[in-house]
Amino acid sequence: MNFWKDRKVVVTGGAGFLGTPLVRLLLTRKADVFVPRSRDFDLREKPAIEKLLQQEKPVLVFHLAASCGGIYANMKNPGKFFYDNAAMGIHLLEAARQHHARFKIKDFKLVIVGTICAYPKFTPVPFREEELWNGYPEETNAPYGLAKKMLLVQAQAYRRQYGLNSIYLLPVNLYGPGDNFDLENSHVIAALIRKMVEARRAGLPSVEVWGTGGISREFLYVEDCAEGLLLAAEKYNGPEPVNLGAGREITIRELAEMIRTATRYPGKLEWNASKPDGQPRRSLDTTRARELFGFTARMPLEEGIRKTVDWFGTHHRDTGHAG
């Protein structure tokens, strides 16, 4: 609490899925938080970031803002996802370097949230941070993953040359209340919850699920991730990337059945194997996070999915309450 009290913090993407619980936690710790909105600060433009930092003079910046989505969104927007994410990160790091040098703010720090999509397509499981450069990312999300990965390179280069304290974190797939449930842009848990809730309400006999169901993923509850970001900001000051995960791998077929139970959907799941599966496996080695700043995820997957289903039912009333 003493670390955060009255500390000036800027959170890019602070109104988003991960940013909302992070800002809430910062406010409970009495931090002085500012969330830039895109209508006022287009973070793809360096002058907008310079204006933001000069106006707020933060001691700590969380960079969460991103253009991203699920497999369909990545396939539809590879150029946009690459440009938006690369431009935001590159301009922010350069502006932060100049900000730090100009105002000589003691203990200035930048916390960069990367993506698991930066890992090579065929990474040994569990993913260890040392494997990050041992191959090309999965093709459907490579432009997004590589754009975010370049921020690690830039952060490490700026640390060596300018002494800028930037840390780089790699959260696994996030889910939870407040997720994006738009079927064109959502990730797998949100998409399946929406499909099954709406199918149950409409009395539909089946729901289509992309892929074979045989691939595996790991999922981190969004509020656990927010806690991990705070711990890293407080305690970690190194150049190496750090995974944030939950420590449980599950196949998409098992996940779909878990969601079917949580949504009480009685129909069939129709697996469309003509659609891409994505990366074969994703599961993280979380040893560094535990040893460097004491992070361990708390939310069991079954309970987290129930909470997400309940949130969706409450906030998307046109589909009816899911519970």
Six-digit token string for 137: 């990312």
Rounded to whole angstroms, how far apart are CA atoms 284 and 172? 7
Q: Nearest to residue 95, comparing CAs of 38, 164, 148? A: 164
Q: Nearest to residue 175, comparing CAs of 234, 119, 218, 230? A: 218
Q: Which amino acid is at 98?
A: Q
Point out the catalytic residue in the list 144, 158, 221, 265: 144
Rounded to whole angstroms, how far apart are CA atoms 126 and 268? 32
Do residues 267 and 309 touch, judged by C-beta distance below 8 A? Answer: no
Rounded to whole angstroms, how far apart are CA atoms 301 and 174? 11
Rounded to whole angstroms, how far apart are CA atoms 11 and 33? 7
Which residues on adjacent β-strands are paired with residue 110?
A: 61, 166
Examine the residue annotation and report whether 136 is marked as an active-site residue of this protein: no
Rounded to whole angstroms, how far apart are CA atoms 149 and 116? 9
Residues that are catalytic: 144
